[in-house]
C-alpha cells in the first residue's frame, strides 16, 4: 500500500507512503480514496488528517507516470481533491518538509492546513514544461492573493512556509511534530465547527487585477523563450478571476495541452535524467563511501582555481599546490576576485567571502597535501607531465586517498598505471569555468573501485554538479561527440556556408553558441594542436583544412583579437570577417568545389545528427551506459537547447527512421564517409524504437 490508514481516538489518519517523496501516482491516489471512504463510512471518526511519511509531505504528481496511461487513470488527482473537499468531515493536512506541485494542490483541497516551519512550498510544474493541473492555479490565488500566486506559479520557485504564514494557506505553523498538532486540531474542530472552509469559496484579491495581468503577460512572454508553459501559467491564473469551476476547466485544458508538448517531454527527461545519471548499474545504492573532509588541487591556473572553489563553496577545506610561489599568488588572487565580484553583485555576503577564503590554503610541497582525502590534478594536458604528478602522488598520499585527474582527453588507464593504486584513480573532468558549469564527467578507469565511484558521485551532489559516468576513450562522452560536430561544421564551410550562417542556424535552433564563436572563445590553436595529433594517430580521420589555414593566418580567436570573426578591443562581440570569408571561398575553389547555398535546416541536421551518430557508437561501446546520460552531458556542459532535451531525445522526437534517412542522404554527399551510420541507430530505425524507449 502506498498510503496507510489508522484511527486514533476519533481521528482517521491517512499517511502517504510512497518513497522517495510520496509522489501521487495511481496506486497512491487509490489508497487515499480508500482511506477517505473508510473514514467517511466510520461513524466513530469525526475528522481526518492527511499526512506524509518520510522526507516529504508530497513532491507532487509522480513524474515517472507522465507519458503513461497511469498518469490520467481514475481516480485522478482532481477526483481525489474533489472527494476531500466535498467531505462532510473536516480534512486537515499535516505538512512537513516538502509540499510541491500536486502535493500542495492536495493540501489546498483540504479544509485546514498545518505545517512545520521551514517546509518548502512550491508549484514547480513550470520547470517541467507544465502548469499546476490539479486546481493549483485556481486555489493558490484564493489562498495567498493573485500576485503572490502568479509569481510562485510562473517562476516555480520554492518558498519557506513562514513567508506565507499570514495567508489563508496555513491555519497554523508549528516548530515540530505537525502530526500531533494536527490530530489535536482535528479533535477540536470536529467538535466546535459545523461547516468547514473550502479554498474554492474564497475571493481572489487584487487592487488592480487587469493592469497587473497586462504587465505580467508582457514580461512573461518576453522572457519565456521557446517554452509555452510560462505564458499558459499566466492565462490559467488570470482565469482564477472567473467562477471557480470555469477557471478549473480552463486549467485542465491547458494542462492537457502542455503535457503532450515536446518541450514538456524534454524538461521531464532532464529532471529524471539528472537523477538517473547518479545511478550506476554495478555500483549498488548502499555501496559504502569514503570520507572526503579535505581536498587538494594540483595547479592554481584557471581550471585548478575553479575546481577548488566548488569545494570551498560546499564548506570543504582545499589546499592548492603549485610549483612556484608567483603562480600560487596569482591563483589565490583570482579566486578572491571571483568571490568579490559575486559579493558586488549581491550574490554573496562579505562574511561568506571571508568564510570561503579561510578554508583555502596553499603550498609548494607535496608533503602538505599527503593527508587529503581527495586530490585532483589540474596540470598541463600532457601525459609526461601527468606521469610526474601521479608518480609523486603515489609516493606521498595516504592510503585510501582518491587520486583524480581532470584530463579531458588523455587515457585515464595510462594515468592510473603510473601509480600502484589504480583502484583509487578516477577522472573528474570539470568544464570551464569549473566553478560555474554544472557538468562533471566522472571517468571510470578499467580498475576504478566501486566505492571510489560511489564517493565521487555523492560528492558531486554536494558541490551541486550533474555527474555523468563515462568510460575511457579519446574525448570521453562530450568531446568525442563534439569532434564529429566540429568536423561537420568545417565541411559545411568547404561546401558553401560561412561561419556566421552556421552559427546563426544552430543558435536559432537553441544552442547557446555556434561552433565558430565557441572555438574562437576556446582558442583555435588548441583545436589545431589536437588535429595535428590526430593526423598522426588516425590518418583516415580528416577535417576541413579551413581551420588550419585560419591558424596559419595567426587567427587563434578572441585572445588574438581575430579568429573566425573579427574582434574589437574590450568587446567580445563577434564581427563577420571579410578576410576569413575570402579565405573560405578561395579554399573551396582550390578543392574544386562549386559552392552551393546550404539551408539552415541542413546545417542543423548535419551538426546535431553528427552528435547523435557518435552518441549511438558511444552507447554501443558501453562508454555511456544510457542515452539519457549523453543528453545530460550535452544539456549541462555543451549548451544544447533545453527545449530539445539533448541530442538523443531530440533524435527520438524527430523519429530515428527520419534521422537515419537524412544520414544516408548526407552519406552520399561531400565527405560522405564521415557518416558511418551506427548499427544500433539503424536497428532502432528498423524496429521503430527510440534511444530512450
Catalytic residue numbers read 105, 125
- Binding-site member from 35, 46, 52, 59 for ligand 3H9 (CB under 6 A): 59
52 binds ligand 3H9 (CB under 6 A): no
629 binds ligand 3H9 (CB under 6 A): no
Q: Cβ atoms within 10 A of the Cβ of 221, count? A: 11
Residues of span 77-96 touching ligand 3H9 by CB under 6 A: 77
d(CA 267, CA 639): 15
- Binding-site member from 64, 337, 586, 665 for ligand 3H9 (CB under 6 A): 64
Q: How far is the CB of 144 from ligand 3H9 (least distance, A)?
A: 17
Q: How far is the CB of 223 from ligand 3H9 (least distance, A)?
A: 20
- Binding-site member from 47, 57, 62, 678 for ligand 3H9 (CB under 6 A): 62
User: In the chain, what is the greatest distance between 2 CA atoms, to the nearest angstrom?
Assistant: 93
Q: Strand 120-122 vs strand 159-160: parallel, antiparallel, or unpaired?
A: antiparallel
Residue 548 or residue 629: which is nearer to ligand 3H9 going by CB? 629
Which span sits near ligand 3H9 by CB under 6 A: 127-135, 485-493, 543-551, 666-674? 127-135
457 binds ligand 3H9 (CB under 6 A): no
Q: How far is the CB of 466 from ligand 3H9 (least distance, A)?
A: 11
- Binding-site member from 12, 98, 434, 489 for ligand 3H9 (CB under 6 A): 98
DSSP 58: B
Query: Among all residues, whose Cβ is closest to ligand 3H9?
Result: 101
d(CA 397, CA 591): 55
Q: How far is the CB of 461 from ligand 3H9 (least distance, A)?
A: 8
Which span sits near ligand 3H9 by CB under 6 A: 57-65, 171-179, 229-237, 355-363? 57-65
Which span sits near ligand 3H9 by CB under 6 A: 59-67, 355-363, 402-410, 511-519? 59-67
21 binds ligand 3H9 (CB under 6 A): yes
101 binds ligand 3H9 (CB under 6 A): yes
**Alpha-carbon torsion angle 479, 483, 488, 493, nearest 10:** 110
- Binding-site member from 35, 46, 102, 514 for ligand 3H9 (CB under 6 A): 102
Which span sits near ligand 3H9 by CB under 6 A: 97-105, 165-173, 399-407, 662-670? 97-105
Contact (CB, 8 A) for 371 and 331: no
Residue 100 or residue 656: which is nearer to ligand 3H9 going by CB? 100
366 burial type by CB count under 10 A (0-12 exposed, 13-18 middle, 19+ buried): middle
Which span sits near ligand 3H9 by CB under 6 A: 61-69, 329-337, 510-518, 529-537? 61-69
Q: Which residue in this structure is represented by grid cell 515540530?
A: 176
128 binds ligand 3H9 (CB under 6 A): yes
Q: Strand 120-122 vs strand 295-298: parallel, antiparallel, or unpaired?
A: unpaired
d(CA 553, CA 575): 17
- Binding-site member from 13, 14, 81, 100 for ligand 3H9 (CB under 6 A): 100
Contact (CB, 8 A) for 107 and 198: no
Residue 157 or residue 595: which is nearer to ligand 3H9 going by CB? 157
Locate 323 and state its grid cell. 610549483
Residues of span 135-174 touching ligand 3H9 by CB under 6 A: 136
Contact (CB, 8 A) for 239 and 135: no
At how many degrees (to 10) do helices 600-620 and 499-509 cross? 70
- Binding-site member from 242, 275, 414, 423 for ligand 3H9 (CB under 6 A): 275
Locate 222 and state its grid cell. 518576453
Residue 446 or residue 461: which is nearer to ligand 3H9 going by CB? 461
Which span sits near ligand 3H9 by CB under 6 A: 3-11, 15-23, 347-355, 666-674? 15-23
Long-range contacts of 165-173 (CB under 8 A, 24+ apart): 167/143, 168/142, 168/143, 168/144, 168/199, 168/202, 169/108, 169/113, 169/121, 169/140, 169/143, 169/144, 170/113, 170/114, 170/115, 171/112, 171/113, 171/114, 172/114, 172/115, 173/114, 173/115, 173/116, 173/117
441 binds ligand 3H9 (CB under 6 A): no
User: 589-619 burial string, b = 16+ CB within 10 Å, else e?
Assistant: eeeeeeeeebeeebbbbbbbbbbbbbbbbbb
Q: Report the interface residues with ligand 3H9, using CB under 6 A.
A: 20-21, 23, 56, 59-64, 77, 98, 100-102, 105, 124-125, 128, 132-134, 136, 272, 275
Amino acid at each position: 500500500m502506498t498510503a496507510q490508514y489508522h484511527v486514533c481516538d476519533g481521528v482517521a489518519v491517512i499517511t502517504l507512503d510512497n518513497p522517495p517523496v510520496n509522489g501521487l501516482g495511481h496506486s497512491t491516489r487509490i489508497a487515499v480514496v480508500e482511506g477517505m471512504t473508510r473514514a467517511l463510512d466510520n461513524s466513530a471518526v469525526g475528522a481526518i488528517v492527511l499526512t506524509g511519511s518520510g522526507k516529504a509531505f508530497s513532491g507532487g504528481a509522480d513524474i515517472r507516470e507522465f507519458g503513461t496511461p497511469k498518469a490520467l487513470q481514475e481516480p485522478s488527482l482532481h477526483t481525489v481533491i474533489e472527494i476531500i473537499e466535498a467531505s462532510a468531515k473536516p480534512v486537515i493536512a499535516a505538512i512537513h518538509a516538502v509540499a510541491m506541485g500536486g502535493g500542495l494542490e492536495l493540501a489546498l483541497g483540504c479544509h485546514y492546513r498545518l505545517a512545520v516551519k521551514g517546509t518548502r512550498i512550491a508549484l514547480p510544474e513550470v520547470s517541467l514544461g507544465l502548469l499546476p493541473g490539479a486546481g493549483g492555479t485556481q486555489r493558490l490565488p484564493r489562498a495567498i492573493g493573485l500576485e503572490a500566486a502568479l509569481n510562485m506559479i510562473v517562476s516555480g520557485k520554492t518558498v519557506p512556509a513562514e513567508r506565507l504564514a499570514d495567508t489563508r494557506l496555513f491555519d497554523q505553523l508549528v516548530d515540530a511534530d505537525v502530526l500531533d498538532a494536527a490530530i489535536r486540531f482535528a479533535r477540536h474542530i470536529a467538535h466546535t465547527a459545523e461547516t468547514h472552509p473550502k479554498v474554492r469559496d474564497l475571493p481572489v484579491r487584487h487592487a488592480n487585477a487587469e493592469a497587473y495581468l497586462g504587465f505580467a503577460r508582457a514580461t512573461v512572454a518576453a522572457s519565456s523563450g521557446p517554452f509555452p508553459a510560462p505564458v499558459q501559467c499566466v492565462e490559467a491564473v488570470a482565469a482564477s478571476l472567473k467562477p471557480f469551476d470555469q477557471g478549473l476547466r480552463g486549467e485542465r485544458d491547458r494542462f492537457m495541452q502542455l503535457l503532450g508538448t515536446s518541450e514538456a517531454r524534454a524538461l521531464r527527461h532532464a529532471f529524471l535524467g539528472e537523477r538517473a545519471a547518479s545511478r550506476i548499474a554495478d555500483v549498488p545504492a548502499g555501496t559504502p563511501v569514503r570520507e572526503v573532509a579535505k581536498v587538494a588541487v594540483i595547479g592554481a591556473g584557471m581550471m585548478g582555481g575553479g575546481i577548488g572553489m566548488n569545494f570551498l563553496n560546499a564548506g570543504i577545506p582545499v589546499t592548492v599546490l603549485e610549483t612556484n610561489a608567483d603562480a600560487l599568488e596569482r591563483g589565490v588572487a583570482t579566486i578572491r576576485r571571483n568571490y568579490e565580484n559575486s559579493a558586488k553583485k549581491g550574490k554573496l555576503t562579505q562574511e561568506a567571502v571571508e568564510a570561503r577564503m579561510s578554508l583555502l590554503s596553499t603550498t609548494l610541497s607535496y608533503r602538505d597535501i599527503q593527508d587529503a582525502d581527495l586530490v585532483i590534478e589540474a596540470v598541463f594536458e600532457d601525459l609526461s607531465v601527468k606521469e610526474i604528478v601521479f608518480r609523486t602522488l603515489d609516493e606521498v598520499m595516504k592510503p585510501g586517498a582518491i587520486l583524480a585527474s581532470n584530463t579531458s582527453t588523455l587515457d585515464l588507464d595510462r594515468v592510473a598505471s603510473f601509480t600502484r593504486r589504480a583502484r583509487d584513480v578516477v577522472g573528474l573532468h570539470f568544464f570551464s569555468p569549473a566553478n560555474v558549469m554544472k557538468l562533471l564527467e566522472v571517468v571510470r578507469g578499467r580498475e576504478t573501485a566501486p566505492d571510489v565511484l560511489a564517493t565521487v558521485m555523492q560528492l558531486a551532489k554536494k558541490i551541486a554538479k550533474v555527474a555523468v559516468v563515462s568510460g575511457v576513450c579519446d574525448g570521453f562522452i562530450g568531446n568525442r561527440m563534439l569532434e564529429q560536430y566540429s568536423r561537420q561544421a568545417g565541411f559545411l564551410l568547404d561546401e558553401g556556408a560561412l561561419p556566421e550562417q552556421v552559427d546563426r542556424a544552430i543558435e536559432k535552433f537553441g544552442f547557446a553558441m555556434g561552433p565558430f564563436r565557441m572555438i574562437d572563445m576556446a582558442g583555435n590553436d588548441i583545436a589545431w594542436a589536437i588535429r595535428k595529433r590526430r593526423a598522426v594517430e588516425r590518418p583516415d580521420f580528416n577535417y576541413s583544412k579551413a581551420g588550419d589555414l585560419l591558424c596559419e593566418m595567426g587567427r587563434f580567436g578572441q585572445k588574438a583579437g581575430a579568429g573566425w570573426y573579427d574582434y574589437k578591443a574590450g568587446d567580445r562581440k563577434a564581427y563577420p570577417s571579410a578576410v576569413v570569408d575570402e579565405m573560405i571561398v578561395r579554399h573551396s575553389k582550390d578543392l574544386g568545389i562549386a559552392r552551393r547555398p546550404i539551408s539552415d535546416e541542413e546545417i542543423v541536421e548535419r551538426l546535431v545528427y553528427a552528435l547523435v551518430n557518435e552518441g549511438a557508437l558511444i552507447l554501443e561501446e558501453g562508454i555511456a551506459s544510457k542515452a539519457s546520460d549523453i543528453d545530460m552531458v550535452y544539456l549541462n556542459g555543451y549548451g544544447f537547447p533545453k527545449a530539445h532535451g539533448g541530442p538523443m531525445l531530440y533524435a527520438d522526437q524527430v523519429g530515428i527512421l527520419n534521422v537515419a534517412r537524412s544520414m544516408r542522404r548526407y552519406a552520399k554527399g561531400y565527405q560522405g564517409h564521415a557518416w558511418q551510420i551506427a548499427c544500433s541507430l539503424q536497428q532502432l530505425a528498423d524496429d521503430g524504437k527510440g534511444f530512450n524507449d
